[in-house]
Amino acid sequence: MTSKPYVHGYSPRESVRLGDQARTLAELLHRDERFRAGSRVLETGCGTGAQTVILARNNPTVDFVSVDISQDSLNQARLAVKQAGLVNVRFEHADLFQLPFPPATFDAVFVCFVLEHLSDPLRALAELQRVLRPGGALTVIEGDHGSAYFHPDSILARKTIQCLVDLQHADGGDSLIGRRLYPLLHRAGLIEIEVAPRVVYADPSRPEMVDGFTRSTFIAMVEGVGEKAVRAGMMDSTSWRQGIEDLRATAGPEGIFNYTFFKARARKSA
């Protein structure tokens, strides 16, 4: 949902990763997302539809309009929704900063993993509020890569994560945005702001989280920027490989991994 390329993007491998991520995190992040019956909800950006399917299935009486800036993603999202047999989603190609809707079109707006990529999240929040009716609800979900810690601890593993943070920063994004959702929404003029951390904790007693989150989501995401990080001279390739190996040990028989997402709910003032 930005004109700049994402740090983590749209390659086939990325699509698989985003699919894995959405499935594993669905229960944690979206299971309690319920919109008022009959309401009109904007989802932005829907990406390849991984979360669209969950939202639409759990809210069958809600009319969703799901937008994204990537036509390819929209095509995949359309397919995913169709395959799930859902009929309550309309897709539109749109830029988050210039939404093709009149003011106060929606009862609620849902934004997940979008603001982290934007150099001006406040401008995005202003546009989202424009299309939200007075008193309407905004849900924002973002991660925070600075919340990641693990055992066994490793300086090189931490450095690989820092590369991801720095690359996203260089692209104008902020992968530490989760922790500042409250001040951000407050500055944007929203009211009744409630932020709650959603922790993903994986140890050997939770193999589905170790595999679904630690390995297939987080480590895969870090690995995805390896070439770029080494090419940019952020780490040499030997250190990088060791860092990734150390990260993998956190998914091993003595490892643990902890990461926190932040889910914010707020209202547009009436």
Taking the chain, what is the end-to-end CA distance rounded to the nearest angstrom? 27
Binder among 67, 216, 256, 267 for a second copy (CB under 8 A): 256
Pairing of strands 191-202, 89-93: unpaired
**135 binds a second copy per the rule CB under 8 A:** no
- Kindly state the smallest distance separating residue 183's Cβ from a second copy, in Å: 4
Binders of a second copy: how many residues, by CB under 8 A? 28
Q: Are 268 and 133 in contact (CB under 8 A)?
A: yes
Using rule CB under 8 A, residue 186 touches a second copy: yes
The CB-side HSE value for 41 (13 A sphere, CA atoms) comes to 27
User: Given 3-state DSSP classes, what are the helix, strand and coil percentages for the chain, each rounded to the nearest 5?
Assistant: 45, 25, 30
Shortest CB 148 distance to a second copy, Å:
10
- Site map 139..178 versus a second copy, x via CB under 8 A: -----x-xx-xxx-x----------------------x--
Residues with Cβ within 8 Å of 175's Cβ and at least 6 positions away in sequence, in order, are 116, 143, 144, 145, 146, 164, 165, 168, 169
CB under 8 A: which stretch of 37-45, 59-67, 103-111, 187-195 binds a second copy?
Answer: 187-195
Contact flag: residue 247 with a second copy (CB under 8 A)? no
- Is residue 102 exposed (0-12), middle (13-18) or buried (19+ Cβ within 10 Å)? exposed
193 in contact with a second copy (CB under 8 A): yes
Q: Site for a second copy (CB under 8 A): which residue of 78, 117, 180, 215?
A: 180
The count of other CB atoms within 10 Å of the CB of residue 155 is 10
Q: Which is nearer to a second copy, 65 or 202 (CB)?
A: 202
What single DSSP character describes residue 46? -
* Closer by beta carbon to a second copy, 80 or else 202: 202
- E-state strands within 179-221: 191-202
Instruction: Find the shortest distance in angstroms from Cβ 234 to a second copy.
Output: 19
Closer CB to a second copy, residue 48 or residue 260? 260
121: tokens are 């999240």
Out of 9, 172, 204, 207, the residue judged to bind a second copy by CB under 8 A: 204
Binding interface with a second copy (CB under 8 A): 144, 146-147, 149-151, 153, 176, 179-180, 182-183, 186, 193-197, 199, 201, 203-205, 254-256, 258, 260
